[in-house]
Chain A
Amino acid sequence: MLTGPQIAAAIAELDVTHVVWLPDSTLGAWEAALGQSPDLTLVRVCREGEAWAIAAGLHLGGRSPLVVMQCTGLFESGDALRNVMFDMRLPLYAIIGYRSYLLENSPDTARRFTEPLVKAWGLDYMLIESAADLPVWAEHYRACQGAGRPGAALLAEGRG
């Protein structure tokens, strides 16, 4: 699984300026590394919908935000996502914790609905299963940003 230093280094190489997040237990392990990265500002939100709107404001202001949340937060924040990605047409990018993906035959309904929902939103997405996927992720991020389209990376998690 990805460590904080690994993800912080990968994010810094992409010229991301702000990470706007509400972590789960997997993503939360990155907090120290993200907080200490000299090139990043970590913005903590209270509910996931806030994250999309803050990222939109950052983008309008000329910065390069990355949104980080669990898939359950994606479920919660759909209207905010719709506003900023579709009405405002901002090419925001997110890392979404894919809860229970690694647990085969898991009864977790968060696992069942994550990919159908991401597809329903029409997001260009990829799966990150390990640190070995980071170079591909960087390409995906750059491709989305270069094309001016929203995107997401689903981070494979156990129980999250």
Chain B
Amino acid sequence: MTTQRRMPLLPALKVLADWRSEQIVVTTMGSAREWPKLSQHPLDFHYLPSAMGHAPMIGLGLALARPEREVLAFNGDGCMLMGLGCLATIVASGAENLTLVVLDNGIYEVTGGQTTAGAVAQVDFAGMARAAGFATVADFDDLPRWQAAAAETLGSPGPRFVRLAVEPVGADYFLPPPAMHEQIARFRAALGPC
């Protein structure tokens, strides 16, 4: 059963932004709004506007394409519920260079804050990832503990699954996404040839 204790989103993301060096980062939904406040890296790819749970799969494709690079893929809890099969798909693929970070705020923030079925059911996302066979699974609802454990967690064998229980941010949701063709061109240039 999941706890209702939550940490503020931006400081939770800052832990990852401070740790990140040359990893590919795939964001979506809430993370796509907040991550650019912390990072303007050319290997950031914002999967917008309606990824509907598929950001981890973009990340998996990148991880399979570039096994020499680490990939960090964000997902929301609502998005996660739309595609729980992705947990099995990731493990079955054999990719070890992927970290899936689920930002769990218990609501569909983009549509106004409706409660997810997962929040009502108190879904244990970390337990699901563990059952699917992720090599490393971690679950944090407390900022100091997340700050202290992040480097070790992210350096553990992959694929990795990290659930961060975070507070909703509010209604100032919509951030105009960068034009997709510009984003792709910048990303590919930074990634370089195979």
> Which residues of A come within 8 Å of B, CB atoms?
18, 41, 43-47, 49-50, 52-63, 65, 79-80, 83, 87-89
Contacts and interface: CB of A to CB of B under 8 A. Distances in A.
Contact of B85 (A50, A60, A89): A50
Contact of B92 (A44, A87, A88): A44
Contacts of B151: none
Given A50-B57, A53-B54, A55-B61, A60 B83 contact: no
B186 to A, nearest CB: 11
A88 B60 contact: no
B181 interface: yes
Interface stretch (B44-52, B137-145, B168-176): B44-52
Contacts of A54: 57-58, 60-61, 64, 89
A79 B55 CA distance: 13
A65 B51 CA distance: 20
Contacts of B61: 53-61, 65
Given A83-B50, A87-B180, A63 B83 contact: no
A50 B54 contact: yes
Interface in B166-194: 180-181, 184, 187-188, 191, 193-194
Contacts of A50: 54, 57, 83, 85-86, 89
Interface in B45-79: 45, 47, 49-55, 57-66
Interface residues of B, number: 35
Nearest to B52: A79
Nearest to A63: B65
The 5 closest A-B pairs by CB, nearest first: A57-B61, A61-B65, A46-B85, A53-B57, A53-B54
Contacts of B122: none
A101 B121 CA distance: 43
Contact of A80 (B52, B181, B191): B52
Nearest to A17: B65
Given A44-B92, A60-B184, A18 B64 contact: yes
Interface string B86-104: 1011001100000000000
Nearest to A86: B180
Contact of B58 (A45, A53, A65): A53
